[in-house]
Amino acid sequence: MWIVISLPLVVGAVTSGWAGFGWGVLAAALCGGVPAVIIFGGVRKGWFGDWHIGERSQRPKLVAVIVALVTVALGLLVVLGAPQVMVACVVIMLATLAVVGPITLRWKISFHTAVAGGSVVMLAWVLPAPVVVLAGGAVVVALIGWARAEIRDHTPAQALAGAIAGAAATAVTLTVML
């Protein structure tokens, strides 16, 4: 969740300065902040077993709520005239959910590595030295995947599949939109 909150802030600031950071705040709040509050509250109320939503049967309703929030964020960004790169940042979130969401109904693919993999691709797109960003990011994504497997929330295959799905959804969206 912290990546979903911080990525729009970084993308906005890097590409459009303080104004972009402001657009990033809007995207971060609706796409990451509100879902985090829902998840924390849901764990406290017993709706979810844990912060990671380890029980697959608890994921569909949460994914639907997140899709709705991301859609609202996208609509606001478009209507209010946000820069195209910020719109793309949020479309990437929907694209990743569109790929990973249906898979998680049958198989516990890793949302963590999907978000991380997509974030690396997005950062490589907007930051200087994309090869360095991709290399360093690959190490970070691998560590996240290792950690997810180590705590037994995912198998290595689920972590790898998530990373590939997130990176691919991001690459395709960026190529189409920018």
Cα(127)–Cα(136) distance, integer angstroms:
13
Three-class SS string for 91-149?
HHHHHHHHHHHHHHCCCCCCHHHHHHHHHHHHHHHHCCCHHHHHHHHHHHHHHHHHHHH
DSSP letter for 54, please.
-
Q: What is the model's pLDDT at position 56?
A: 72
Q: What is the model's pLDDT at position 88?
A: 98
Cα(45)–Cα(37) distance, integer angstroms:
12
Q: How many domains does the chain have?
A: 1
Cα(175)–Cα(50) distance, integer angstroms:
36
Of 21, 56, 23, 58, nearest to 38 by C-alpha is: 58
Q: What is the model's pLDDT at position 62?
A: 86
Q: What is the model's pLDDT at position 105?
A: 83
Q: What is the model's pLDDT at position 63?
A: 84
Q: What is the model's pLDDT at position 94?
A: 95
pLDDT under 50: residue ranges of the chain: none
Q: What is the model's pLDDT at position 104?
A: 86
Q: What is the model's pTM?
A: 0.91
Instruction: List all residues 6 or more positions away from 143 whose beta carbon is below 8 Å from its beta carbon.
Output: none
Domain of 55, in residue numbers? 1-177
- 114-161: pLDDT as tens digits: 999 999 999 999 999 999 999 999 999 999 999 999 999 999 999 999
Q: What is the model's pLDDT at position 44?
A: 93
